[in-house]
Chain A
Amino acid sequence: MADLDQRPHKKRRFFVDDSPSQDPSLSAEPSLPDEVNDLPKSPSLQRQQTGDAAERDKENVFDGETFKAFTGASPPEDTILSLQQTFGKDLERAINAYFDGSWKNTPAPPSSSRTPSASTYRSSPFGKPSSTIQTTPQANASPRASATPAPPKPAALGSMPTKRYIGALGVAGWTTKSGTGLLKPDDTIKIERQKQAIQQKAGRGGKFKQVVRKTQDMIVRFTNGRGEEVGRLEKEAAMWISTLLDQKLCIFEGHCIFAPERIRTNDTVYLQLKCFLLRSAFEAGNFVKPAENNRETGIFEAKETSDERDLRLRQVALVKLFSEINLQPSKINETTAKHKREGILQAAEVAEQYDQQDTKKSKGNTPENGGSSPPSEENEEGEELEQDQLDSLYRKAQSFDFDTPEAQPADSFTMDLRKYQKQALHWMVAKETSQKQEHKEMSMHPLWEEYPWPIKDADDKDLPAVDGQDCFYVNPYSGELGLDFPVQEQTCLGGILADEMGLGKTIEMLSLVHSHRSPEQEATMSGAKADAIASLPRLGRNSSGVEYAPATTLVVAPMSLLAQWASEAEKASKDGTLRVLIYYGSDKNINLPTLCSAANAASAPNVIITSYGTVLSEFNAVASMDGNRGSHGGLFSLDYWRIILDEAHMIKNRQSKTAKACYELAAKHRWVLTGTPIVNRLEDLFSLIRFLRVEPWSNFSFWKTFITVPFEKGDFVRALDVVQTVLEPIVLRRTKDMKTPDGEALVPLPPKTVEIEHVKLSDPEREVYELIFARAKKAFSANMEAGTLMKSYTTIFAQILRLRQSCCHPMLTRNKQIVAEEEDAAAAADVANGLADDMDLTALLERFQADEGEQDASRFGSHVLKQIQDESDMECPICSEEPMEEQAVTGCWHSACKKCLLDYIEHQSSKGELPRCFNCREPINARDVFEVVRHEDEDFGDEDTKALVSAFGAGDEEDEDLYNSTQSAKKKDAAKRITLRRVNALSSAKINTLLTQLKRLRKSDQVLKTVVFSQFTSFLDLLGPALTSAGITWLRFDGSMSQKERARVLSDFANRPKFTVLFLSLRAGGVGLNLTCAKRVFMMDPWWSFAVEAQAIDRVHRMGQTDEVKVTRFVVEGSIEEKMLKVQDRKKFLASSLGMMSEDEKKTQRIEDIRELLS
């Protein structure tokens, strides 16, 4: 079936006679029955301002003159009469009815008095209409014969008429009919938009079939003076004209410029259209602003809502229109000037592409997205930034002037601020109070453009002016039109504090909390009793249902940092000057609006600390209550004095629910804290800007136009330039390596040394390693030869992951939960787990099988214990050490140093002999060797000094009889209890090295705190028991722990008066934490980029650290880890010169890396 949207092919001309019947669909579509064809043709080309006195007399009806002026048309008197009869006084309705044709049911004779307008067509009709006929009002001023005498200059109107002329343009159309006399030059035509309902077509057997239109309906028809449809506009023009008509922005009046004498179907005709903007287009509420209705559409929104789509069409249509009629803005904002319309069109184009891709993609996953999916699962858009691009972005923001003024914090703030922190305070206070300082002349909102109303029409006739309306305003980014001067809205009263980690963002923020209070809070602080009425607690709420909380600052932080915020807030404040509330989990059974209202300002919490998760869940709750914030009584029911988002890159994805939730929080001042405002995409920054409500950039369409689109098109310089101008006024960023003008560091930190400990794998470990290595290499070369490297990237990556794990402990390669610790590993893990272990590997790994855990020695009977105890102080029968080092026993209960025993077993095995006991020659094996673990210091950690003594003086008191210890003497107990732990004879080299080092450290400093990082939590699972067996106390902090547990672990670690090790997963420990109580750091495994490791190290080596920090990085000799270090180095080196690499180049680069790793 022919698609009627498309103009038929030209070749039809050769079958002229057949054409009507040849295309059944053409004939099958007559003018629709409900179309009224006898509509009087708008005689708009004339400007007859002659008043008719007779009409004026009628007091009770509207004024015909005004009607004409408003409509800019001069319909026949009888038409006006009929309108008057129908609508009486209601001029507006009459005008509307006039334009939409609905008045026509009152009979009205066709216009006969229409005077043909002077021919305005001056150019060759055969040229391209857009370039030759398109005229500006000015250009039309060329002298020509006018059929009607120029009317006197029209009187100015008091207000905007229903429609107002803005320009004329030429378009081409094609005819859908044939015949003579259908249309001739100068004929007035009417431009119509007939939205096609879903057509019903007669199917076979007389049934009606619904035909679903696949393409967007944008047919624009034109009819001749008799109301017959003559043809349609060419598609190109119809596209945007249809939008303007549909969205009731414009109407068009036209006349024919050229048409062949005898018209045949599919002939080209040329038309001139005059365009009028409708008054309704300027009226608010004409459409929904997409930016403001996040809540309503946000919950189940597809990528582009239909509103957004309408907006896009509208943007494009307006831009096209202005360009066609050559209307230039008389005034636009500087920033926008550079890029302009082209940008909008580009952006729309890109959006369309997204649109198409998304409809394909979204089918599967849209429904699930309705839930509370974590941000990480939601897809992000935008390209990643290269490091050097980031660097140059930051450079501008970082050009920190060391001479900026400082501010002194309020008295209630107890901490000493460094100079740069006082400067930050000054800057922040200035930002929060900036509206008072701004007395600049009213400047135009940067998104809007000003256009002059034309004063002459296409025929060079004067147009009526409107008092005080010489211009109109257009916001091409939102598609809004306006008659009033759009004032630049207040800039955001907050900003981005992006000081590098460790410079004390929290402290700076707290100093602001203390130093800039709302007037309401000041009033209560000053002790002056506020007037009696105000001090009465009340529940009054304003209309939006949101209670103003003038004394409250809301802090939103990752869960792991809640406790830290609370304790820092308390530390930084004089007693009683700051009320802190942690609003989290079960602790939130309070009605916040009551608690924090202005009336209760004297007792309201000054700082409420909550987590992103809480914000999200309350957001969902409020949304499910239809957005009724007030009645929820939670975080969203308040309008805070200030909001602070800590680690604000949590909301970097603007599509994530968390981000959307945060946008909705209301506050007078908005701040975000982050060390990395841009993590890897420019869109990351947008989300912050959106939260801060920085105009105009918080409009995504605007952002997309000036930043995303140029960036994706490769116009990096331009995009980054714009970003810099956005950032400059709202970002304060200092880095740790900044130097004051005197060359001093901003924050003097004690030195830090990083050394690499080369670990040698044991032979069995080596075997496992080599096997996996050989396999990975084989896979790599095979894929290399087959040219399938890119495809099998994940498989190879998985192999490399296994290799790295086998460097830590061979058993890790068997662990099913290896993942979730590495970005790319998610996919890789499946592949890795799917790699069947062949027999070789299984056999090798069996030797590393985890042990069955501890066994209480009492199980074996008292004589065994006696024997073990007796032997413990004797010299080792093998090395003669006395007492034995790490006593171990065989299955036949003979003791020796663990090492001697294992060495001997190893020695025998290597000679191919069956290992036997050194003492009784019973056959033994390495797995049946038990380490004797004494629990001297088990429940220690409180202030129990006795336990302390026994822990360090353990050796002397052990003579007590073990019989007692296991059977009766529970009191003396712990000090004497022993358990046997199967020695994982084939433990890993890294574990052993770590233990050796820790033991050495413990000897030298008995209260030292050490942090051990690994990226594999499964490795931490193995390290824990190993430390326990060595009698070293340890704690663990990882992503799976609850907030309470985390807080407890951190405070435990800081407060224990003894040697303690804290295990951290590289991931969980990467952000925010303050571990300055530790002095030593062990990095168990290298990460791809040292930056990540450095960030972890900086948990310890950060402000507040008073001692030198020693870092030891474990690297297995002659392994992939050593090569990773090389890759790390090279990356550091290349970072600045890499420049803009494409996605493919990056992949190639990674494959280069892998090649190097496997070399």
Chain B
Amino acid sequence: MSAPLPKRIIKETERLQNEPVPGISAEPHEENARYFDVWVDGPDGSCYEGGKFNLELFLPDDYPMCPPRIRFLTRIYHPNIDRLGRICLDVLKNNWSPALQIRTILLSIQALLGAPNPEDPLNEAVAKQWKENQPEAIKTAREWTQLYAQKK
């Protein structure tokens, strides 16, 4: 990372820290300002409520032309998130636009926790369970949240 940090990243970082979004935090690593340590609260009223989810976020060189790369570090039971924490979300793929920001992306992820979409699954097993036996799936999700997503 020899190139100077683009103005946009500096501004975004400043704003994330000065005007934080409730339930979301993102801290850049000291040694790499493009690498963020992210915490997202499970939305109220969802099966992830009460959980604090850890993610890692990386801004590639051609950001904001390309979307940030982001992944759950905390294990989570969700039809659109796979075992490795990868997220299936349109704005992180085809629907990315440079007008989106870290903040908006994290809000989208938070919203995704509130509204799982088994019709566009990334994790087939979870999606199947979700469609065939939703109460059971939600129960599992709650258990996992209890199990993995608690503040240390």
Contact = CB atoms under 8 A, between A and B. Distances in A.
A904 B8 contact: no
A921 interface: yes
A877 B12 contact: no
Contacts of B62: 907
B95 interface: yes
A882 to B, nearest CB: 9
Contact of B12 (A880, A903, A917, A919): A880
A1045 interface: no
Interface in A223-263: none
B98 interface: yes
A886 to B, nearest CB: 16
B8 A919 contact: no
B152 interface: no
A51 to B, nearest CB: 123
A907 B6 contact: no
Contacts of A907: 62, 65-66
B3 interface: no
B11 interface: yes
B50 interface: no
A879 B8 contact: yes
Contacts of A918: 97-99
Interface residues of A, number: 16
A251 B135 CA distance: 141
Nearest to A901: B98
Contacts of A875: 11
Contacts of B85: none
Given A903-B65, A904-B65, A907-B65, A878 B99 contact: yes
A23 interface: no
A881 interface: yes
Contacts of A919: 97, 99
B97 A921 contact: yes
Interface in B95-125: 95, 97-99
B95 A921 contact: yes
A407 to B, nearest CB: 67
Nearest to B7: A880
A311 interface: no
Contact of B99 (A877, A881, A903): A877
Given A880-B7, A907-B62, A900 B98 contact: yes
B64 interface: yes
Interface string B71-90: 00000000000000000000
A907 to B, nearest CB: 4
A878 B98 CA distance: 5
B64 A881 contact: no
A877 B11 contact: no
A144 B36 CA distance: 133
A913 B66 CA distance: 13
Interface string B54-71: 000000001011100000
A444 B42 CA distance: 119
Contact of A881 (B7, B12, B66, B97): B7
Interface string A171-199: 00000000000000000000000000000
A904 B7 contact: no
B103 to A, nearest CB: 12
A877 B65 CA distance: 11
A1089 B149 CA distance: 76
Interface in A908-953: 913, 916-919, 921
A917 B95 CA distance: 11
Interface in A891-906: 900, 903-904
Nearest to B6: A879
B25 to A, nearest CB: 21
Contacts of B65: 903-904, 907
A644 B55 CA distance: 88
A875 B7 CA distance: 11
Interface string B1-16: 0000011100110000
Contacts of A913: 94
B36 to A, nearest CB: 17
Contacts of B99: 877-878, 918-919
Contacts of B64: 878-879
B98 A877 contact: yes
A875 B95 CA distance: 22
Nearest to B66: A907
Most chain B beta-carbon contacts within 10 A, residue among A880, A900, A919: A880
Contacts of B6: 879
A912 to B, nearest CB: 12
A918 B66 CA distance: 12
Nearest to A907: B65
Contacts of B11: 875, 880
Nearest to B97: A918
B104 to A, nearest CB: 11
A877 B7 CA distance: 12
Interface in B2-53: 6-8, 11-12
B17 to A, nearest CB: 15
A705 B120 CA distance: 98
A879 B7 contact: yes
Contacts of B66: 907
A875 B6 CA distance: 14
B95 A878 contact: no
Interface string A859-885: 000000000000000010111110000
A917 B94 CA distance: 13
Contacts of B7: 879-881
A879 B8 CA distance: 5
Contacts of A879: 6-8, 64
Contacts of B97: 916-919, 921
A903 B6 CA distance: 15
Interface in A567-586: none
Most chain A beta-carbon contacts within 10 A, residue among B7, B11, B65, B94: B65
Nearest to B10: A880
B105 to A, nearest CB: 14
A881 B6 CA distance: 10
Nearest to B94: A913
Most chain B beta-carbon contacts within 10 A, residue among A877, A881, A917, A919: A877
A382 B18 CA distance: 84
Nearest to B8: A880
A877 B99 CA distance: 5
Nearest to A917: B97
Nearest to A913: B94
Most chain A beta-carbon contacts within 10 A, residue among B6, B95, B99: B99
A907 B97 CA distance: 11
B102 to A, nearest CB: 12
A878 B97 CA distance: 9
Nearest to A877: B99
Nearest to B11: A880
Contacts of B95: 921
Contacts of A904: 65, 98
Nearest to A876: B8
A29 B54 CA distance: 128
Contacts of A880: 7-8, 11-12
A880 B13 CA distance: 12
Contacts of B98: 877-878, 900, 904, 918
A395 B65 CA distance: 65
A525 to B, nearest CB: 74
23 contacts: A878-B8, A878-B64, A878-B98, A878-B99, A879-B7, A879-B8, A879-B64, A880-B7, A880-B8, A880-B11, A880-B12, A881-B7, A900-B98, A903-B65, A904-B98, A907-B62, A907-B65, A913-B94, A916-B97, A918-B98, A918-B99, A919-B97, A919-B99
Given A879-B8, A880-B12, A900-B98, 11 more contacts: A875-B11, A877-B98, A879-B64, A880-B8, A880-B11, A881-B7, A907-B65, A913-B94, A918-B97, A919-B99, A921-B95
Interface of B: 6-8, 11-12, 62, 64-66, 94-95, 97-99
The 9 A-B pairs of least Cβ separation, nearest first, read: A880-B8, A877-B99, A878-B98, A918-B99, A907-B65, A880-B11, A918-B97, A918-B98, A919-B99
